[in-house]
Structure 1
Amino acid sequence: MGTITEVEEIKEFHVHLYWLSTSRRALNDAETLLDLIEKKNAEGYFVAKPLRVNPTPVGPHPMSSCEVWVPIEYFGKFYGWVAQMRPSTVSLMIHPLSRHQLLDHTDRVAFMGPSAPLNVETLQPPVTEHSPAQYPELGLGYSAKS
């Protein structure tokens, strides 16, 4: 990987749920975990936004998955909760959202549960001009007022 000359503040994360597409139990466990995440969101316990469920590999992700966006303001609370609630049939791939997409998915990635190799050839462009703010309407993460 290239040399990074400046450190950017990380304000948003992706947590990808991974499970085997051939396992009905794993799919049920993933759906239950996603339902619990939605419930905790509705209760105001944390902010974590699940996106669509991918029943087959998509992009760099080698198996069934679902992406969950978490802003820095709730990352610690979400991480602590999901570390205790994650079923053994579901792995989590956690990475920061920065301008360096390839580094975020390789050198800066962490797994909870078994890891899985990524197809990094699909990550383009590897570096973007601006920080990748998601859900600006929430005023969190990169969209928070300083």
Structure 2
Amino acid sequence: MPAIHGYHAHIYFDVKEAEKAETLCKAAGEKFPLRVGIMHLQPVGPHPRGSCQLAFKNSLMGDMLPWLIENRNGLTILLHTLTGDDYLDHTDNAFWLGTAEPLNLDGL
């Protein structure tokens, strides 16, 4: 397996959950030294619905995972590695908090 260079957590939401997702992403950005991405209201890339990306270093994984579990407030989150192999990162090297959703893997 290639080296893991960091992680992405994609917070998924529908229109009615957008405020809840924005609150979660903002809180993560205030608590941890990570990058909070744009709130995409429509599907982007492989993601099946609205999402916001949290990008963080390996050293934060031990703190981020339990924090996301405790604070996701019913939102679905895709958490995956960053190895340089986008397909494997979004499939074999990924896990879900909440119900897994089908990804559009054609472009990976």
TM-score tier after normalising by the smaller chain length: over 0.9
Ranked by relative contact order (alpha carbons within 8 Å, sequence separation 6 or more), the top structure is: 2
Larger radius of gyration: 1
2:58 counterpart residue number:
72
Consecutive unaligned residues in structure 1, runs of 5 or more: 1-6, 41-45, 124-146
Match of 1:11 among 2, 5, 8: 5
Matches within 5 A, 1:30-109: 30-40=21-31, 46-88=32-74, 90-109=75-94
Percent of residue pairs identical: 31
Runs of 4 or more off by more than 6 Å in structure 1? Answer: none
Equivalences, count: 108
Query: What amino acid is the match of 1:91?
Result: T
> Does the Cα contact within 8 Å between 1:47 and 1:70 map onto a contact in 2?
yes
Matches within 5 A, 1:90-129: 90-123=75-108
Larger mean CA deviation between 75-84 and 58-67 belongs to 75-84
Q: d(CA) in 2 for partners of 1:82 and 1:55?
A: 21
Q: d(CA) in 2 for partners of 1:114 and 1:20?
A: 14
Normalising by structure 1, report the TM-score: 0.70
SS at match of 2:80: strand
Consecutive unaligned residues in structure 2, runs of 5 or more: none
